[in-house]
Amino acid sequence: MTDAGMLRPIVQGLMPRALAELGELVAIPSVADAALVPHERLVEAAELTRDLFTEAGVPCELVPTPDGTDAVVGYLPGPEGAPTVLLYAHYDVQPPLDEQAWTTPPFELTERDGRLYGRGAADCKGNIVAHLTALRALRAWTQETGQPIPVSIRVVVEGSEEQGTGGLEHHLLAHSDAYPADVILVADAGNVAAGQPTLTVSLRGTADVEIELRTLAGPLHSGAYGGAAPDPVAALVALLATLRDADGVVTVDGLDTSGTWDGAPYDLATFRSDAAILDGVDVTGTGTVADALWARPALTITGIDVPSVANAVNAVQASARARLNLRVPPGTDPAAAQDLLVAHLERHVPWGAHATIVRDVPGSPFLARTDGHGFAVLSDALAEAFGTERTVTSGQGGSIPLCNVFQQVNPDAEIVLMGCEEPASLIHAPNESVDPSEIEALSLGEALFLLRLGTPA
C-alpha cells in the first residue's frame, strides 16, 4: 500500500478528535490584549496548545517572550542526519469585533451548512489542529510500519501574532541559534479557493503613517467664519484625494505601481464575490486583480478623526487626522516607500496647513524560495492530498514580519506558507468559519510531506 493509501484513512479516522479539539481551542477567547480579555485566558490557550502537542508526540513547554506572552515550543528528534521541519502557527485570535453581527456565539464552535463557525476556527486554530492531526497520523503510521518518523520536528506556536507586538520575533532574534530548521511550514495562510491547494510565496510589507492637519487655534462658528477660515477637514480630504487617480491607482509621487503577478490568477468575478463588492461598484486599479493584490503597492485610509455625524456642530474644525496603511510588494523597500509617501503628503498639503506626520516602523515584504526540494515535495503532497492536478502559488496582501525573522535566523531554510483558510472563511471578520474538509486535506498533505521529505526517493 502507498503512503497516501495508508495515511488517508488514518487522517479520516482522526477528524472527529480534531474537530472536538478545535472546539476546545475556539472556546477560549485568546485575544492578546488584556484590555479586552483577561490575560489568564491567553495563558489557558497556551497551556492547552502545549498539552495537545505533547500528547501528539512532540514534547512542548511554554517559553516566555518579551511582550509578556508565551510561545509553545517543542522538539522531536528524528534519525541522525534527518532534515528538521519547523511547524508554526499562533493560538491568539482577533477580537470578535461586532458581536451583534455574529449569527452564532463567536467563541462557541458551531456547525452550519457544513462549515464550522467561531473566532479562530480558520485563523489560526484550524491550522493548529491540522498540525496535530498530521503528527498523530504519522505516529499511527510508525506503529503500523515499525519505522521511525524520518524527520526531526520542531514546534513553535506564538501568542501575539494578531496584535503584532513582536514577542516571538524578539525572542527568535535573541536566541538565533535555538531553532535550526531546514524547512519552516508557516500555517497562517490558505488556499485561493476551497479545494485548491495553495502555497503563499509573497507577502507585502507595510509602511504606515498618521497625518494631522491643523489650520486654526480652535473651532470657529461656520456661519461667522466659514468660507474664509481654512477648513482642515476639507484640506485633509483634498490631500487624501491626491493619493489615487480616477481608476483607484496609487499615485504617490515616485512609487512604482507597474508590477505584475506571475503566479495563480485571481478571477475578477470570483474576487468580486469574495470581497462582497456591491452591484455596480467598480474594482479599483488597473491590470489584473492579482497584480493589484500581490505585485503593486496598496494605500488604504484606515481611519479618520473628525467629528462624527451624530456629534456634528456648525463649526469649522481646528484639526483633522487620518491613518494611512501603505502595503508594498517584494522588491520594494518599505522604508523608502514610506519616505516617498511622507514627501508626497508634505508636498501636497493645501493652504499651508500645519502638518504633523508620524511614521510607524516599516515592515519588510517577504518572497519565498520556490526552487528547493522541500517546496517541490510539499507541492506534490498537497496536490495528492486534495486530489487536484497541482498546487498553485499565490500572494497575500497581508504582512507576516515573522517570516523575515525566520529567514534571518535560518538563512538557508525553505519557508513556505499554507493553511486551512480560504475566501469564504472571512478571517478577521464576524462569522469567521472553516470548512472541515480543508483541515482534513491539509493534515494529510502535511503528513505526506513529513514522511516523504525524510525518505530518499
- By annotation, the residues acting in catalysis are 92, 161
83 forms bridges with which residues in the sheet?
none
- Distance, in Å, from the CA atom of 360 to the CA atom of 345, rounded to the nearest integer, reads 15
> 126 near 420, Cβ under 8 Å?
yes
- Distance, in Å, from the CA atom of 13 to the CA atom of 113, rounded to the nearest integer, reads 22
What percentage of the chain's residues is helix, strand, coil (to nearest 5)?
A: 35, 20, 40
Grid cell 502535511 in the structure block, residue: 446
- Distance, in Å, from the CA atom of 48 to the CA atom of 315, rounded to the nearest integer, reads 55
- Per-position b or e across 125-156, b if 16+ CB within 10 A of its CB: bbbbbbbbbbbbbbbbbeeeeeeebbbbbbbb
- Distance, in Å, from the CA atom of 269 to the CA atom of 101, rounded to the nearest integer, reads 26
Give the three cell numbers for residue 229: 477660515
Please classify residue 237 by burial: count the beta carbons closer than 10 Å to its beta carbon, then call 0-12 exposed, 13-18 middle and 19+ buried. Answer: middle
- Which DSSP string corresponds to 246-274? TT--B--TT--------SS---HHHHHHH
Q: What phi and psi, each to the nearest 5 degrees, are found at residue 305?
A: -100, 100
Please classify residue 276 by burial: count the beta carbons closer than 10 Å to its beta carbon, then call 0-12 exposed, 13-18 middle and 19+ buried. Answer: exposed
Amino acid present at 165? T
115 forms bridges with which residues in the sheet?
112
- Distance, in Å, from the CA atom of 187 to the CA atom of 6, rounded to the nearest integer, reads 24
> 190 near 130, Cβ under 8 Å?
no
Question: Cα 382–188–276 angle (5° rounding)?
Answer: 95
Number of residues that make up the chain: 457
Give the three cell numbers for residue 86: 519547523
Residue 171: CA atoms inside 13 Å, Cβ hemisphere, count? 23
- Distance, in Å, from the CA atom of 406 to the CA atom of 366, rounded to the nearest integer, reads 11
Q: Tell me the pairing of strands 298-305 and 319-328.
A: antiparallel
Computed over its alpha carbons, how large is the radius of gyration of the chain? 24
